Amino acid sequence: MMNVQNQQLRALPSSRRDSADTSPDPGFPPETTRRGRGAQSNHSGRYESERRESFDDGWDGLESLPVLKTDVQVETPRRIITRNQSPDISFDRSINPYRGCEHGCSYCFARPTHAYMGLSPGLDFESRLFVKPDAAKLLEKELAEPGYQPATIAIGTNTDPYQPIERKYRIMRDVLKVLSDANHPVGIVTKSALVMRDVDILSDMAGRGLAKVAISLTTLDRKLARAMEPRAATPSRRLDTIEKLASAGIPVTVMTAPIIPALNDMELERLLDAGSAAGAREAGFVMLRLPIEVAPLFREWLMAHYPDRYSHVMSVMRSMRGGKDYDAAWGERMRGKGPYAWMLGRRFELAARRLGLNQPKVKLRTDLFKPPVLPGGQMRLI
């Protein structure tokens, strides 16, 4: 819910709007206020007892509203490493320096997490952000705990750690310093050129077999990229980032994620070609995921930007998800199932093999790990 002057609010039942409904909704904030954002709406989170939406009261109040600005709040968690036991992902721990992401990607599967904060997975997710300034201190403390066993920490698997506000808060640089000092492996996923700011630390870590970076490259079409990922780096800058990281000796993966039927699926081979030419050594892909609130948000975005492809995109998506917008089954949520999913998987495998990608994959080291020595503490006996 935007707290802006002249905005009128009303509570609406959650049943007012079906997820498949594509008719215009007067509750959507006007385009003038959400310029440069990905989501089209800002409906209340699923845990709220009321649903609040902006609406035009006939006095032209909405047309005079200012452009939505980014608001950042400080979060003070007790721990920073998040654990998971998911059988279909390659890591068991991760760090998220931020909640929400200003990149505003229309398809972001992390959007539903904002509902836990009492906020909307829509515009709130990309404009009302939470920063964890003590992330590096918390990390150092957790790495120093007795019995800690090192394994690659993934950063950027939920929200982008190099989103625009990282320029101010510099949390990632502090986190990387802690990991470097402890000889702890890290894998980063980002679509931001800002990662080049930390190339000195990453290059040094990569020289010890401790770091790798994946750059998300979803399209080479600037127009599609601008609409789909409004505040992320352009495709050309991402390719330039791959080239510079690779030149610095850092293993780079080109991530063609997500693949969206009838929108960017025809670019798969071109994306892998471009990433490989820029210096990427590995590649990966993930099918579009539409969990919980992401499905209606993506539908709204698709209808607003590509109405002529709406039916085709959603039809193919449902063909891979058992007739639904999404299926969260282990092993299928990332790839889908059925003829289309099978064909896309084979296309990826053939292109990757032709380019020599993933042969072999880089495995980060854990044998160099040395626990941090906290103030007032002492080193472990070896």
Cβ burial 51-71 (10 Å sphere, 16+ → b, else e): bbbbbeeeeebbeebeebeee
pLDDT one-digit tens code per residue, 5-27: 323 333 333 333 333 444 334 34
pLDDT band at 61 (very low <50, low <70, confident <90, very high): low
DSSP state of 292: T
Amino acid, single-letter form, for residue 297 = L
Q: How many residues does the chain have?
A: 382
What distance in Å separates the CA atoms of residue 171 and residue 75, rounded to the nearest whole number?
13
Provide the CATH topology of domain 71-355. pyruvate-formate lyase- activating enzyme (3.80.30)
pLDDT one-digit tens code per residue, 228-283: 999 999 999 999 999 999 999 999 999 999 999 999 999 999 999 999 999 999 99
pLDDT one-digit tens code per residue, 272-310: 999 999 999 999 999 999 999 999 999 999 999 999 999
pTM of the prediction? 0.87
Name the residue among 279, 366, 325 with its Cα closest to residue 107.
Answer: 325
Across the range 41-55, mean pLDDT stands at: 78
Alpha helices per DSSP H over 182-306: 199-207, 222-228, 235-247, 268-278, 294-305
pLDDT one-digit tens code per residue, 324-355: 999 999 999 999 999 999 999 999 999 999 99
Residue bearing tokens 């503490």: 377
What distance in Å separates the CA atoms of residue 147 and residue 150, rounded to the nearest whole number?
10
Write down the domain spans for the chain. Answer: 71-355
Q: How far apart are the first and last CA of the chain?
A: 54
What distance in Å separates the CA atoms of residue 7 and residue 284, rounded to the nearest whole number?
44
What distance in Å separates the CA atoms of residue 65 and residue 18, rounded to the nearest whole number?
28
